[in-house]
Amino acid sequence: MGTPGEGLGRCSHALIRGVPESLAAGEGAGAGLPALDLAKAQREHGVLGGKLRQRLGLQLLELPPEESLPLGPLLGDTAVIQGDTALITRPWSPARRPEVDGVRKALQDLGLRIVEIGDENATLDGTDVLFTGREFFVGLSKWTNHRGAEIVADTFRDFAVSTVPVSGPSHLRGLCGMGGPRTVVAGSSDAAQKAVRAMAVLTDHPYASLTLPDDAAADCLFLRPGLPGVPPFLLHRGGGDLPNSQEALQKLSDVTLVPVSCSELEKAGAGLSSLCLVLSTRPHS
């Protein structure tokens, strides 16, 4: 595992899962999900995979779609990964808990140390967990409770872990994210701004902040490729998504902006960080 203060680590692998027809039909844990344009959702997902592999130079591992797991593409909810340790989560929705099985096996095959949640009182969605490179913030939301946050702290003992109240239907990373090694980006809603203010009170580290017009634009991924000499990337919503936030993102001058679209997948509750798992250090073979 990394040491405190070393910053967000370099990435070598990314894991995604294909889009099943059952997601396009509006099935799954979220009752009343709108029907999707399957072809468009699959194109968005394919472009994301291509950017991770070709633009960012990551080794891409793609799990096949499973019709019994309509929300399976949102695999960012299924694990919290730091260094060589993967905490397998316990999603709030019982219907989503089988999603962790394929992810667990894939991460085991990569040589990561797997930590399970055995407490049936705990709920934890991975997109409620924000790692800044120095510490963890865990959103206490509809999806994640105090016991889930305690297990994050027990698993990653080298880092401070603080809890942040999240109001409304969002996960923490649906409101804010890392726009650089020392920069927090956040949406402009009351929920997002309250979360950022809570984080500022709880941390001992000075982070710069950037407010974006759209909460969903703050759901981005700051990534350091494993290739030497390559500057860090910020994978963010683009391609016509959230145009009001694009100008603000240009202020992040120390990163290479890599835009992707997930406007169709968003209808199923997908944020950008929920669509992939990135390994922040090269796992043991």
Given strand 221-225, what is the order of strands in its sheet? 10-11, 221-225, 233-237, 256-260
Number of neighbouring beta carbons within 10 Å of residue 280: 21
Let me know if 205 is a catalytic residue.
no
- Provide the token pair at 41: 């959702």
Given strand 135-140, what is the order of strands in its sheet? 129-131, 135-140, 160-165
Instruction: Show Cβ contacts of residue 101 under 8 Å, excluding neighbours closer than 6 positions.
Output: none
Measured torsion, CA atoms of residues 193, 197, 198, 202, in degrees rounded to the nearest 10: 150
**Active-site annotation holder among 13, 45, 171, 236:** 171
User: In Å, what is the CA distance from 79 to each residue of 10, 33, 113, 209, 279?
Assistant: 18, 23, 12, 26, 11
H-helix or E-strand spanning residue 236? strand 233-237
Let me know if 276 is a catalytic residue.
yes
Q: Report phi then psi at 19, rounded to 5.
A: -90, 120
Query: What is the CA angle 156-159-165, rounded to 5?
Result: 90
Instruction: Show Cβ contacts of residue 216 under 8 Å, excluding neighbours closer than 6 positions.
Output: 174, 187, 237, 241, 242, 266, 271
**Active-site annotation holder among 11, 176, 220, 276:** 276
| Of the candidates 264, 272, 263, the residue with the CA atom closest to the CA atom of residue 243 | 263
Q: Report phi then psi at 58, rounded to 5.
A: -90, 150
Catalytic amino acids? 171, 276
